[in-house]
Structure 1
Amino acid sequence: MRWLCAVVVPAILGVVAACDAAPQPQSPPPPPPTTSSYTPPPTSTSLPVVPRELDQAAVEEGVRKVLTESFQLKDVTDVDCPGKQPVRVGHEFTCTASVEGERRSIPVTVKTDEGRYEVGAPKPA
C-alpha cells in the first residue's frame, strides 16, 4: 500500500511540497565540466594617474581674500583665475583682478601636493 501526502502553500509563496511513502529514483548529478571557456579580463599592475586640479572658484575667492586681508587692498572685484590648474608643487599661473578700478595681475604658485598656494603682490596688468 502506498501513502501519498501533499502540502500546498498559497501560490503567493510559490511552494508546493509532496511526499510519497515509496522511494523515488533520483537522477545522477551532471558530470563536472572538463574544459572552461572563461577568460579573465586583462589586469594592470598600475592605475593611470589622474591629474588633480585646483577648484577655480575657490582659488578666485582665496585670491580676493588674500588681497583684501593680507595686502589690505580696498575695492577688490572681478577676480579671474584660469581653470584647470594642476595641483603640482611649483606650478605657477596668473590671476587678474580689479583693484580700486585698475586691472592687476596676481601671481599664484602651488606650494604643496595638497593644493596650498601662495598669492603674490599684484602688479599692473
Structure 2
Amino acid sequence: MAVTVLAGVQAGCESAPESPAPPPAASSVPPPPVTTTSATPVSFSPQPKLFDHGAVAQGVRQVLTQSFEITDLGAVVCPPGQPVRAGHTFDCQAQVGAEQRSVPITVKTDEGEYEVGAPG
C-alpha cells in the first residue's frame, strides 16, 4: 500500500530584499565610464526545486499514523536537498516502537506530489 501526498517545495534560489538607493551626491564631476569584458559567457540556469524536508517529514508522519495506522510512531526524519523531479526516490527514517525503519518516498510529479510507501 502507498499513499500519495502533495508537499511543500522550496525554491532553489532566494533573493535578498532590495536596499534603498543612496541619495545622489552633489558633484560637478561626472563618474568615469565603466567597461567590462568577459572571456567566458555567463549563463544563468534555473536552480532545481527542492523539497522542504520538514514538510515532507510532517506529511510522512500524517500518512503513517492515519493511513498505515501506526500508533507508536516516534521521530520522522527526511533528508534535505531532495529534488522535486518525477521518478526520484529517497528514504525517510521513522522510529516505530523501538525500531528505526526506512520509509520509501517516490516523487510522482514535477509539481511535488509524492508517494509514501510502507515502512520497511
- Whether 2:72 is the aligned partner of 1:75: answer yes
- Whether 2:81 is the aligned partner of 1:96: answer no
Instruction: Report 1 or 2 for greater relative contact order, CA contacts < 8 Å, sequence distance ≥ 6.
Output: 2
Q: How does 1:1-125 map to 2 (within 5 A)?
A: 47-123=44-120
Structure 1 stretches of 5 or more lacking a match? Answer: 1-36
Preserved CA contact (<8 Å) 1:64 1:77: no
Structure 2 stretches of 5 or more lacking a match? Answer: 1-32
TM-score in terms of structure 1 length = 0.61
How many pairs does the alignment contain? 86
Tell me how far apart the structure 1 counterparts of residues 71 and 77 of structure 2 sit (CA, whole Å): 17
Q: How high is the sequence identity, in percent, across the aligned residues?
A: 53
Tell me how far apart the structure 2 counterparts of residues 103 and 97 of structure 1 sit (CA, whole Å): 6
SS state of the match for residue 61, structure 1?
A: helix
Following TM superposition, where does structure 1 have runs of at least 4 consecutive aligned residues deviating by more than 4 angstroms?
Answer: 37-42
Whose radius of gyration is greater, 1 or 2?
1
Tell me how far apart the structure 2 counterparts of residues 109 and 95 of structure 1 sit (CA, whole Å): 11
SS state of the match for residue 93, structure 1?
A: strand
